[in-house]
Amino acid sequence: MLQAQQQAQTTDIESRPAGTVAGRLLRAVRSGGSNSTLLRQIALVSLLLAAIFPLFGGSFFTRLAIEALLFGCIALSVDILLGYAGLLSLGQAAYFGLAAYVAALMYLHVTQSFWLVLLTASASVGVFSFLLGAVAIRAKGVYFALITFGVAEILSKITHNTRAIGGSDGLIGIPVPSIRLLPGLEIEFANNYVFYYLVLGTVCLLYLGTRRILNTAFGSVLRAIRDNSDRVPYLGYNPFWYKLLAYVMAAQIAAFGGLIYPLLRGFVAPHLFGFEVSTKAVVMSLVGGVGTLIGPLMGSVIITFLESVVGSYTERHLILLGIIFIVFVMFLPDGLCGLAQRTFGAGRKVKP
Amino acid sequence: MEDLLAYLHFVVLPQFIDALIIGVALALVALGLTMIFGLLDVINLAHGELYMLGGYAAFTLLGWGAGYWSALVLVPVLVGLVGWALEELGIRPLLPRADRAIVTLLFTFGVSLIFRDIAQVIWGTETRSVAAPLTGIANLAQVFVPIYRIFVFGAGVLAIAVTWWLVYRTQIGAVLRATAVDPSMVASFGIPIRLVYGFTFLYGCGLAGLAGVLLSPIYAVFPTMGHDFLVMAFAVVIVGGMGSIIGAVVAALLLAQVQGLASLWIPPVWAETLVYGVMLLVLVIRPAGLFNRLGEA
Amino acid sequence: MSKIATIAKLGVAGAFMLALAPAQAADPIKVGVVTPLSGTYAPIGKQVRWGAELVVKEINAAGGVNGRPFELLFEDEEANPPVAVRKAEKLLQQDKVDLLTGTVNSGSTLAVGQVAERNDRILVTTVSYAPSITGAQCSANVFRVNANAYMQSNALTSWLIKNAPGKRYFFIGPDYEMGRSTTSAFQNDVKRLGGTDVGATFPPLGAKDFTPYIGQIRAAHPDVIMTATAGNDTVRLLTQLKEYGILTDKLTLAGAAGAVTQENLGAMGGAGEGFLSAAGYSIDIDTPANKKFVSMFKKEFQHDPDLFAADTYGLFYLFKQAIEKAASTDTGRVRAAMEDATWQTPQGTKKIRKGDHQAVVDMVIVKVKGNDFQTVGKVPGEEAVGPDDCQKF
């Protein structure tokens, strides 16, 4: 799925006489916000659709959309790693689950203050992702995928085996809280519409923030590392710190989804760390388009809704998911965003 | 002193022997996985489902009146052919891509989901079983081992030995090892690389099928059996070194002992978690595993 | 902020209007069945589904509930609580079901029970037997019509102590909530009744090989082995115990009601012979109602029913009776009608205990013989049911 982008990059280099890494870096930095207009249009249309969705959705679909956005956070974090740093994580659910458990335990035993919960969950994920990232990103290619898979598996086992935090049953009874924005101004999560717009707004901010950061020189170096990591150190950049920063950032985004999940569904279970959740996030970014940032969020909405609708007619959802995997890997490696680009944007390139 | 000897003889030794047999079974599943990675850079996430197919194929053949021994010969061939078809139709078109390790991993994952669901459609959700062709228990100095498990051990060791001989002592093996190092060099000698890759898949998946037949009388047959086994097989391949045949065998024996012996002293669920811990430790300290990959002697 | 508030008001108004839509007389009574139809627990889900389909066909053919037919809506929950909750919300909020049932593993039952509570609907489990569901984690919106682990343990151990030769008991429980709680109920009852606990082991759920625990079992020289495994785990456990020659004429095998069922007995190749369990149901219960149920079930599905199908089948007669008594599907009134209800099922009379919403079920001790289950003893429900531990309503 990276092939399309890499080809695009190759043409870039070839079109420049001085086709060196330095040249590519320079070009990437200069083109700054090189998101094509098309991607921006896709993002705008999606946001518009998302904004009016609850008017038609009813409470179930509005809540399902919240869940899709939360799982979309994992997909977004997979995309940051895969699309920009070239790292396939098969364990991004670890951070979703970790944040969900920290939030659930805080609400049940420590505090009802949303901000305190947010801080604790974010800090725990921050520390954990820093330590794990420092180890994992030194492994190359598939070994990174295997390490992330292993860690998520171990976390899932530990929560499953530890009866003090609910064991295999997980924890129920997490209250539906409210956030005190300012003294006297409270937001109630109990109202699905308020909840939805709050999550939509935050996910938009996360998306815009991520795009902003990845369009700076930081993102350019990251991509240069992805494409040619052996030569970047000679240019004075240490790939380690760039990758680590991307890894920690990605973990924080997945953690946001996890932190909100117990507030939506009222419980946590070891399944939230599961391989199914991690791999589904990978399909979501595949479907939307790896390296587009908006694609994975769309992919999450599509997959979540598809599963929910199809689920009423058949229990063969694994076949469905498998076919989606195969079709996108083999025939649409640049996802729906790539398809849109080829259909509508003749001549324009979708670039990360 | 006597107590200690009795403890070693009646508690630790049986545990060791049982884990040894499990280790060989595990090595059989892991062997195909590691060969395919060694040659093609492909992590075959559908490997567990090919093992499952082996179990179901044995169940079906026996249901049609075939004997166990003919199933033992037929099933690996059938499953091998399924693997070969997978390589031909799905893996090969993906190999030219720059990120082939990632895309083939995702492709085989999709295949595994489909196979698991199809098995449920064809064979239903109930657990199926295959009767063991050998019954009875051997008494080896007060350690009791079922005859069939001794047979599984022997057959497993034989399959491992044949694989080793094939890779390190034959002309085909020389080509395989050379391909693992430098496919273009091998191609320049006029050897068709696609045949080498096809054969690797056929053989590796055939081993998974063999494991499916051999283990079905002990572990029963049901749609999620491959998925359950794969995580453990992965741990083996990672610890042994992705692509290393000797590594897979050593790691399978080692991890089976870790789990078996550890469950004498710590709660079994934590023994299972410990195996993943060992895997992670190896990944962190020596990401490429304990042994070198195929071809890099 | 004002924008959000306006939209929020719009939403509330919309929901209010929907609530006012009048129910027509012939409106179906919708029952949502969230049950595992794929994955490891699919064989149980299949029995739940068949039981529900059979009973609904029967009740609707006889004129429904005050003229209203039952309508079933199935969702596959994959024995995965996050999926179960999503599917349950769909049934409740989108399909507007009146009642929920079907959950199998205790994690799903607890999580879906909470969803039912937050949506003011009732969930009845016909399979989960973890005591916490009607105990420490009980809910006013959750009922259980099958026998829980305490009841099974009570009935089974008191029968075993009287009838099984030998006093040495060994316990095997898969290491997850249902396995742990069932095993500890077994252990407590055995000790209370004068048996000897000679050891216990807790293999992981889904363990492939039980040989690491066989040495411990052999060394303990048990007279009775009690297990809380289910499905494929029981198949592997018992075939491997047989393989290793642990199963002899002197040893008694016993365990939880879900350990050996119609769905996995066939795969054991005789290793399940003589297995004893206490359940709220046995296929050979000699009553006209049960004979009719079994013959209809076999005719419809070419398959024997097991306890999951029977308990689900029986549940719909409770629904029917409660809705008729309440003259409404209003949750509060149905709940009131279900509490203290006594009703007829294939296995006889069941009664809901008001204090914790646990059904009092006469227990039968069932023994595996060949491919069949035979009743070898009975324990009255009142004797087996144990104390009411629910503190929440």
Cross-chain CB nearest to B277 (options A86, A154, A323): A154
Cβ distance of A265 and C4 shorter than 8 Å:
no
Between residues C172 and A15, the one the model is more confident about:
C172
pLDDT attached to residue C73: 96
Q: How far is A268 from chain B (nearest CA, A)?
A: 21
Q: How far is A47 from chain C (nearest CA, A)?
A: 16
**Predicted confidence (pLDDT) per residue in A57-73, tens digit:** 889 999 999 999 999 99
Single-letter code of the amino acid located at C354: K
pLDDT attached to residue A229: 65
Do C142 and C291 fall into the same domain? yes
A250 touches C at CB < 8 Å: no
Do C323 and C303 fall into the same domain? yes
Q: How far is C217 from chain B (nearest CA, A)?
A: 11
Do C134 and C154 fall into the same domain? no
**Residue C266 DSSP label:** G
Do C197 and C120 fall into the same domain? no
Residue C392, in any domain of the structure:
no
**Residue A230 DSSP label:** T
Residues from chain B contacting residue A139 (CB–CB below 8 Å): 283, 287
CA C101 to chain centre: 10
Backbone angles phi, psi at B67, to 5 degrees: -80, 165
Q: Rounded to a whole number, what is the distance in angstroms from the first to the last CA of chain B?
A: 45
Single-letter code of the amino acid located at C254: A
- What residue in B sits closest to C41 (Cα-Cα)? B125
Cβ distance of C175 and A54 shorter than 8 Å:
no
Cβ distance of C212 and B222 shorter than 8 Å:
no
pLDDT attached to residue C323: 97
Quick count: other Cβ atoms within 10 Å of Cβ C286? 8
| Among A147, B222, B45, A187, CA closest to C236 | B222
As given in the structure block, the two tokens for residue A183 are 């003294």
Evaluate whether C106 touches C49 at the Cβ level (below 8 Å).
Answer: no
pLDDT higher than threshold 60 for residue A3 = no
Q: Low-confidence residues of chain C, pLDDT below 50? A: 1-24
Residue A79, in any domain of the structure:
yes
- What residue in B sits closest to A132 (Cα-Cα)? B284
**Predicted confidence (pLDDT) per residue in A84-119, tens digit:** 998 999 999 999 999 999 999 999 999 988 999 999
- What residue in A sits closest to B97 (Cα-Cα)? A3
**Predicted confidence (pLDDT) per residue in A246-257, tens digit:** 999 999 999 999
pLDDT attached to residue A29: 40
pLDDT attached to residue B11: 83
Q: How far apart are CA A195 and CA A69, in angstroms?
A: 12
Evaluate whether B162 touches B210 at the Cβ level (below 8 Å).
Answer: no
As given in the structure block, the two tokens for residue A268 are 């946590």
Q: Which chains touch C (3 or more CB pairs under 8 A)?
A: A, B
pLDDT attached to residue A32: 38
Do C234 and C340 fall into the same domain? no
Quick count: other Cβ atoms within 10 Å of Cβ A43? 22
Tokens 């240490």 found at: A238
Q: How far apart are CA A141 and CA A139, in angstroms?
A: 7
SS3 B201: helix
Q: Which residues contact B67 (CB under 8 A, 6 or more apart)?
A: B133
Q: Which chains touch B (3 or more CB pairs under 8 A)?
A: A, C
B103 touches A at CB < 8 Å: yes
Do C299 and C254 fall into the same domain? no
Dihedral sign (CA B129, B132, B135, B137) = negative
Cβ distance of A329 and B114 shorter than 8 Å:
no
Per run of 10 residues, the mean pLDDT along chain B (length 297 residues) is 84 90 92 91 93 97 94 97 96 89 92 94 91 91 91 96 94 90 88 92 96 94 86 86 90 94 90 88 82 66
Q: How far is A196 from chain C (nearest CA, A)?
A: 10
pLDDT attached to residue B218: 93
Dihedral sign (CA B52, B54, B58, B64) = positive
Structural domain spans, chain B: 36-223, 224-297
Q: How far apart are CA A245 and CA B169, in angstroms?
A: 48
pLDDT attached to residue B251: 95
Cβ distance of A142 and B288 shorter than 8 Å:
no
Range of the domain at A115: 3-344
β-pairing, C342-345 vs C348-352, is antiparallel
Do C94 and C138 fall into the same domain? yes
- The alpha-helical segments, DSSP class H, found in A106-191 are 114-136, 142-161
B118: exposed, middle or buried (Cβ count in 10 Å: 0-12, 13-18, 19+): middle
Residues from chain B contacting residue C245 (CB–CB below 8 Å): 137, 144, 146
Using a pLDDT cut of 70, give the percent of chain A over it. 87
Do C227 and C270 fall into the same domain? yes
Q: How far is C205 from chain B (nearest CA, A)?
A: 8
Cβ distance of A322 and B110 shorter than 8 Å:
yes
**Predicted confidence (pLDDT) per residue in A178-224, tens digit:** 888 777 788 888 899 999 999 999 999 999 999 999 999 898 888 88
Do C180 and C256 fall into the same domain? yes
Do C337 and C302 fall into the same domain? yes
Q: Which residues contact B115 (CB under 8 A, 6 or more apart)?
A: B46, B49, B50, B52, B53, B226
- What residue in C sits closest to A272 (Cα-Cα)? C82
Using a pLDDT cut of 70, give the percent of chain B over it. 98
Cβ distance of B118 and A319 shorter than 8 Å:
yes
A/B interface, count of CB pairs below 8 Å: 110
Range of the domain at C270: 150-279
- Picking from A169, A191, A260, A317 by the largest number of C CB atoms within 10 A of its own CB, the best residue to mutate is A169
Residues from chain C contacting residue B219 (CB–CB below 8 Å): 208-209, 236
Domain total for chain A? 1
Domain total for chain C? 2
Single-letter code of the amino acid located at B83: G
- Picking from A74, A304, A315 by the largest number of C CB atoms within 10 A of its own CB, the best residue to mutate is A315
Q: Which H, E and C letters describe B35-65, residue by residue?
A: HHHHHHCCCCCCHHHHHHHHHHHHHHHHHCC
| Among C299, B294, C18, CA closest to A60 | C18
pLDDT attached to residue A55: 87
ipTM above 0.95 for this complex? no
pLDDT higher than threshold 70 for residue A28 = no
Cβ distance of C111 and A185 shorter than 8 Å:
no
Evaluate whether C129 touches C182 at the Cβ level (below 8 Å).
Answer: yes
Q: Which residues contact B189 (CB under 8 A, 6 or more apart)?
A: none
Residue C195, in any domain of the structure:
yes
pLDDT attached to residue A345: 65
B268 touches A at CB < 8 Å: no
Residue A63, in any domain of the structure:
yes
